[in-house]
Structure 1
């Protein structure tokens, strides 16, 4: 069993009894039994398995280990997380993939910082991630940091700790692997988020993440969040992408007319249209920015 942090170094660190470990599982018979055993070896007894209607032996194994097993409602991984929050009774909850890639002993690293942060994310060791996923994760993390002006380390990590009362305030609408992005973005609206280094191993069983399809969905979701959470950045990009080419095209049209007496009416119409749409984006950016500042002010007063 891992030795917990000395209390004189980290006073007030929650104990294993203060957290519930949630394992979202779908056809994880190859790993789930070992994961539960290792959690108990580390002193974590509050374990809930949220099953997504597995067709293998996942449920039987979890039941044999005498942990609480709940079959989820709603869809996908997000549905498993929302279902779990209906049953968690402890002040903190740790979400952890049930595929054997994460080490239960690393939960202690999350616990050390639980008092001061609304979410503590486990930043995975990059040695355990494939080259393709390293590139994708790096791109997604950089985009997330740009949108939210905060580095959360590894926004797609499948192991993270959240204060239960904060997690219940989330409005989770995603249905797939972008759920971690949604959780981190909403956690940042309610307090500080940090990360700690953790180990990451090879999964047992068949992978459910589609590198290209799910990666694109996550990127598009972050862009959607940018519009909602950082309208200045989003509309600045939109305005630039319209006004800049519109201005260049209009300049070319004017130059052609002045030098050669040729007026490209079609080019001129396109250019003016792009510029006008871009200017409307500036107005929308200003209004959205004011609304967002008002939301932040109200949120601060409630905390």
Structure 2
């Protein structure tokens, strides 16, 4: 079995499979590879929706759209590209509007105020017409020519709900700090989910739109939205496959802020685990405190009969409070629809 595949046989699947609809739609279009852009009316569903958040990308966003269009035109899939301008302060929106006239499959959504890449991806996914949604970036760093490969995995294997492009190198800014920080955060996520995660926050991924809809409200506004969608799928027994991809140095200026965004990544991982399995976070420190307090109580009784130190009581009470919170949080999670 491929070690990069996480299979779960215990999940009960009640949702219809979008991959089946995609396969049937493509089968009904024998000439899809000849004229993929002419197969669907503007308001009809398509196979693939590519969501492209854009913020101050005027120098290279057109090249990104051109190479994505060229890839999808030869893929055999009907598609659309949703370019979302996140209130850019340069001429990104002007470039996108000009490109919209050239490429009939391009839809531009303009934000009045900056909402963050997570907001852009959430709204893009909600407005997508495709059975499969692809997230990627507009900075030329991801190999968008691999998009059809990711989509084909979902089409061919209905047990897989998300395919992630796992980067084989780190080309971002602050590499000396980012590499160990991302490794630590990824190991925390693996520990809390009991799953091997080759790349926790890759920006290139394809997933079934209908499966993602219940989790879109959980997406934060910033970069940790990709971490969130990974954690949400894993906690709900949706199968994720990881495909190794190269990663290029981004064009333009990075919007990543090391201290602030690293903190947000850790916080979001813990938040997601608390949302789906709070016992994983709260019960270990509770049991540790109760064990320590019990041992300290035995020592106090032996050393000073019929007397417990105040710090012993505080340790025991703290452990009991955390355990109560863990059980209450777990009850809330299990009673949530």
Please give the TM-score of this superposition, normalised by the length of structure 1. Answer: 0.81
| Match of residue 267 from structure 2 | 220
Q: Does 1:279 pair with 2:303? A: no
Q: Does 1:32 pair with 2:72? A: no
1:244-282 deviations in whole A, cap 9, x for unaligned?
443454455445537xx9x7x7xx112112212313433
| Match of residue 166 from structure 2 | 123
| Match of residue 107 from structure 2 | 68
Shift of 1:98: 0.9
Counterparts of 1:248 and 1:53, CA distance in 2? 58
Q: Does 1:172 pair with 2:218? A: yes
Alignment of 1:19-168 (within 5 A): 19-44=48-73, 46-66=80-100, 67-72=106-111, 75-115=115-155, 116=158, 117-128=160-171, 130-168=175-213
Q: Secondary structure at the match of 2:127?
A: coil
| Match of residue 233 from structure 1 | 280
Q: Secondary structure at the match of 1:113?
A: helix
Question: Which 5+ residue runs of structure 1 have no aligned equivalent?
Answer: 1-10, 299-303
- Give the number of equivalent residue pairs: 280
Deviates more, 1:282-291 or 1:216-225: 282-291
Counterparts of 1:180 and 1:277, CA distance in 2? 35
| Match of residue 3 from structure 1 | none
Please give the TM-score of this superposition, normalised by the length of structure 2. Answer: 0.73
1:193-213 deviations in whole A, cap 9, x for unaligned?
221111111011111111121
Q: CA contact under 8 A between 1:110 and 1:120: conserved in structure 2?
A: yes
Counterparts of 1:227 and 1:86, CA distance in 2? 25
Q: Secondary structure at the match of 2:233?
A: helix
Counterparts of 2:209 and 2:127, CA distance in 1? 11
Question: Which 5+ residue runs of structure 2 have no aligned equivalent?
Answer: 1-21, 27-31, 37-45, 74-78, 101-105
Counterparts of 1:245 and 1:94, CA distance in 2? 49
Q: CA contact under 8 A between 2:84 and 2:120: conserved in structure 1?
A: yes
